[in-house]
Amino acid sequence: MRVVLQRSKEANVKVNGEIIGEISNGFVLLVGITHDDTEADVKYLADKIANLRVFEDDNEKMNFSLLDVGGQILSISQFTLYGDCRKGRRPNFMDAAKPEKAEVLYHLFNRMLEEKGIFVATGQFGAMMDVSLINDGPVTLIVES
């Protein structure tokens, strides 16, 4: 499982020009799932992301987690994170999990974050989406299981 995490001041996702998910301070997560991912991968990343200390304290040190600052999450499914661009000019997406498996794990991931008390807004699995954000910092990390 692979997540691109972007600390953001605000973010939203639109489908067909309509906002379907929106957050203020927190994380935008682009979530990719591969064939051999399991519930254990989902649990590991939900815990890691909720507790990752990337928000500044009064001394401008990254000492606070999303839970510490009461942040929110905008979670976007993103099979293209498993695009392999090493050969040719068109990415190969064979490493991305089939939609049936990926959707189940994606929803489980979001539920696990919500169970930690985090507000989670989402896009629409499998849809073409327009994602807007103000990246705070900018802080962008790749987190993998």
What is the set of active-site residues?
80
Dihedrals phi, psi of 16, to nearest 5 degrees: 55, 40
Cis previous bond, 99, omega within 30:
no
Dihedrals phi, psi of 9, to nearest 5 degrees: -85, -30
**Distance of alpha carbon 79 from alpha carbon 102, whole angstroms:** 8
Amino acid at 37: D
